[in-house]
Structure 1
Amino acid sequence: MGNGRKGTALGALVLIVCLGLPAWASECRQDQVNLRGSWGEARFSVEVADDDAERAQGLMNRESMPRSAGMLFVYPAPKRVGFWMKNTLIPLDIIFMDNTGTVQHVHHQAQPGDLRPKFGGDNIQYVLEINGGLSRQMGIARGTQLRHPAIAQDRAAWSC
């Protein structure tokens, strides 16, 4: 690399460090999800459950959860998934999404200890659990889009 190119590359690096990363570089993070719909946008800090053990544990035995927090369940491929509330101590909204991150169904206010499974459809790949009642308060419904790096960006309804 010639001196001119080194100087240009170094200058670009200095600009990034001084000015910070562009907004698009921080929009998708592993520890958060963004949701958008006709109602506006929302962001939740999330724990990601992307293996069998993490998905089985879920939010069991938690006595509380911050309002802006949740858990994102990631499956390797779309399928029919059911959620129950065994050993879950707080009411939850369970938001079911397809492989594009588009909401297909919302189960509102799943109650602690309820052993009846809640299903969201046959082609679900992502499920977001948030505090019960927030989906209705915010307007999260069928058609809402979720953005997260776990969603293959070539098919994401809302890409990073």
Structure 2
Amino acid sequence: MRGFLVLLLLASLLAVGPSFASALEPGFARGTATISTGSRQVVLRVELARTPAQRSRGLMGRRSLAPLAGMVFQYSSSTTGAFWMKNTLIPLDIAFYDGRGRILRTFTMQPCRTEICPLYDPGDAFRGALEVNAGSFRRWGVERGDRIVVRVG
């Protein structure tokens, strides 16, 4: 009987869909990201995408993101490249930052459900990127040169 209940529970979790499954997926470390602007500090609860697989998945399939939450994409050294929104269901802001946490460039990105999606490229080498709900950076007054400090735990 106990085995049947476990199987029933697993089957119902799978039936709920990818957004619920991704909320349960282990592997993303948690931490905080503090954005310091000229006039304020905003502290966010974040998930940390540290491995290539985690960075590739990012926030794909998520149906919502809490107002003071986000995802930090961390790299062990400076890198170049672009982000896209394929299979991402919610609009997001992204801030690319350097090794000292200084914001290099921000974008507001729209969901993409087609095969060919726009690329969001900061045009410079970056050390990390922070994604939050679209419109958040404008509301918080986040600009190029502001700082992001990420802490694990």
Q: TM over 0.5, yes or no?
A: yes
Question: Does the 8 A contact of 1:39 with 1:138 survive in 2?
Answer: no
Which residue number corresponds to residue 154 of structure 1?
none
* 1:4-40 deviation digits (Å, cap 9, x = unpaired): xxxxxxxxxxxxxxxxxxxxxxxxxx51111101131
Which residue number corresponds to residue 124 of structure 1?
126
Compute the displacement of 1:123 (Å).
1.5
Compute the displacement of 1:103 (Å).
0.2
* Poorly superposed stretches of 4+, deviation over 6 Å: none
Which residue number corresponds to residue 133 of structure 1?
135
* Distance of 2:56 and 2:127 partners within structure 1: 15
Q: CA RMSD in A?
A: 1.6
Amino acid at match of 1:134: S
* Distance of 1:71 and 1:149 partners within structure 2: 12
Compute the displacement of 1:41 (Å).
0.5
Which residue number corresponds to residue 112 of structure 1?
111
* Distance of 2:48 and 2:37 partners within structure 1: 22
Q: Does 1:146 align with 2:148?
A: yes
Matched length: 121
Which residue number corresponds to residue 156 of structure 1?
none
Amino acid at match of 1:102: R
Compute the displacement of 1:106 (Å).
0.4
Question: Does the 8 A contact of 2:60 with 2:89 survive in 1?
Answer: yes
Q: Per the alignment, do residues 54 and 113 of structure 1 end up closer, same or farther by CA in structure 2, a change over 3 Å counting? A: same
Compute the displacement of 1:81 (Å).
2.3
Which residue number corresponds to residue 62 of structure 1?
62
Compute the displacement of 1:80 (Å).
1.2
* Distance of 1:71 and 1:148 partners within structure 2: 11
Structure 1 unaligned residues grouped into runs of 5+: 1-29, 151-160
**What is the TM-score with the length of structure 1 in the denominator?**
0.72
Give aligned-pair identity as a percent.
35
**What is the TM-score with the length of structure 2 in the denominator?**
0.75
